[in-house]
Amino acid sequence: MEWKASHILIKDRRLAEELLKKIKQGANFEALAREYSTCPSKSKGGDLGWFGPGQMVKPFEDAVKKTGAGSVSDVISTQFGYHIIKVTAKK
């Protein structure tokens, strides 16, 4: 199984929760990623491209596995900070 996903990486959990709420209310994920994410992927709207098992840290990969294509995860905590993950495709 491989996944294609985008994410927003934030250091502050409260801000991550606020952004997730905005996304669920219809805010543009890519625009929020460009504005708030601390990951270099922010320049591509958070797009991480395709990746397979073992390529991301375990909590991130576990969240991607549980999130349906076209859906957005809850806020996920890793050693890098807090992620909001949008799974765009699975194959």
CB atoms within 10 A of CB 26: 6
> Can you give the residue ranges of every domain in the chain?
3-90
Q: What is residue 38's predicted lDDT score, i.e. its pLDDT?
A: 97
Q: How many whole angstroms separate alpha carbon 44 and alpha carbon 58?
A: 23
Q: What architecture does CATH give domain 3-90?
A: Roll (3.10)
How do residues 23-79 score in pLDDT, each as one tens digit?
Answer: 999 999 999 999 999 999 999 999 999 999 999 999 999 999 999 999 999 999 999
- pTM for this model (two decimals): 0.96
Q: What is residue 83's predicted lDDT score, i.e. its pLDDT?
A: 98
